[in-house]
Amino acid sequence: MRPRGRVWARRAGALAWCLAVLTGCTAGGGEPRGGGAPAPGRTEPPPASRAAVTALPADGARDVPPEGPVRVTAAGGRLVSVRLADARGAEVAGTISEDGSTWMPDGLLPLGSALTLDAEAEDDRGRRAVRHSAFSTVPRARTFVAFFTPDDGSTVGVGMPVSLRFSRPIANRAAVERAIAVTADPPVEVAGHWFGNDRLDFRPQKYWAPGTRVVVALRLKGVQGAPGEFGTQAKEVRFTVGRAQVSTVDLDAHTLTVRAGEGGKVVRTLKVSGGDPNHTTYRGVLVVSEKHKVTRMNSQTVGLGDEYDIKDVPHAMRLTASGTFIHGNYWADPEVFGTANTSHGCIGLADSKGGTGQDTPAGWLFEHTIAGDVLEVKASAGEVVPPQNGLNGWNLPWDRWVAGSVLDRP
């Protein structure tokens, strides 16, 4: 039997040897952990970038308005890339500043979209810093559209302007006007003019040349017209200017002289009757905006009480929004045409009932007139038509017309 003391001694020695081995696995010499050379096969992480990237809006933000604010900023370095995209991968365009310190979107954010932002910056030693965030934009907004004249694909007279009426009042007129382009072939300068906050017309300095092709580009989708209100249209409207027909109405002589072609050749002279002394006809340049073979005219609609209600006025062509027409007249004494002004402000020509005949003066003029044709009305009495009453902006001199734009002329 072995003595117990020796067994205990051997076990104590083994335990001391194990403790010595374990001690050797720690940092020796009293140095803290991590001191000295790294263990074989181990690499230290690279130094952190000095660049710091911050972003607005905050990660997880909701109902961010289309105008933001959205901004990425780099401190201690320069931005090298920024990507803002929706769930389908469609990117929102933006621009990094020349010094690389900021990035901002070029326009409004899409409505009702979940967006992700990934930005990367670099310090002066080429070390990168990144930022990732996600947010969503407000899902709903009121919208507006522009109702346009003339119609797409139409052929019009040389006096037809482009007239846009907006479904909501426009507060940011510069943004809206900038989003609309009117171009002509052959080229001619075209300028816009605002009539209030819901109508914008365009025209050249002089009447269009016959044969001109005009394109109206409406790039209103996403354009902010007023706080919380955005356009929805992205389309082009095209029309062609037909032959030239600019006629002269002399209410003192009671005549209408039809001139056609660029040289203004007289085609026909017709006898007319204008407004009486208590209801004078507007003077100035009046453009035909509508044509009706037969229409109803009721004095109550133009503020004249119960003076007339004619249910079948033939060959009627509108000249103002307030109710001035040039039309056929079958109820008056034929002798008044060419001799007296007897109407309530309209220009009348002899006609037959029903609006079917083309051989009457009114019928002939109706068949030889298109929307956009011009009547230059002269008289010794009567007011000049307000330019916003109908399509009659030609009554403003060019300098006053271009002054009605909110954009700087090129």
Catalytic residues: 327, 346
| Burial of 47 from C-beta contacts in 10 A (0-12 / 13-18 / 19+) | exposed
Q: Could you tell me the sign of the dihedral formed by the alpha carbons of 13, 15, 18, 20, in that order?
A: negative
Contacts of 360 by beta carbon, 8 Å cutoff, 6+ apart: 315, 328, 349, 350, 351, 352
CB 242 within 8 A of CB 193: no
How many Å separate Cα 26 from the centre of its chain? Answer: 74
Helix, strand, coil % over all residues of the chain, rounded to 5: 10, 40, 50
Degrees to nearest 5, angle at CA 33 with 31 and 37: 80
CA-CA distance, 313 to 14, in Å (whole number)?
A: 125
Both tokens assigned to 352: 């037959």
CA-CA distance, 43 to 47, in Å (whole number)?
A: 12
Contacts of 74 by beta carbon, 8 Å cutoff, 6+ apart: 51, 52, 53, 100, 101, 102, 119, 121, 129
235: helix, strand or coil: strand
- Type of residue found at 47: P
Closest listed residue to residue 354, CA positions, set 326, 318, 325, 312: 312
Give the total residue count for the chain. 410
- φ, ψ of residue 55 in degrees (nearest 5): -145, 145
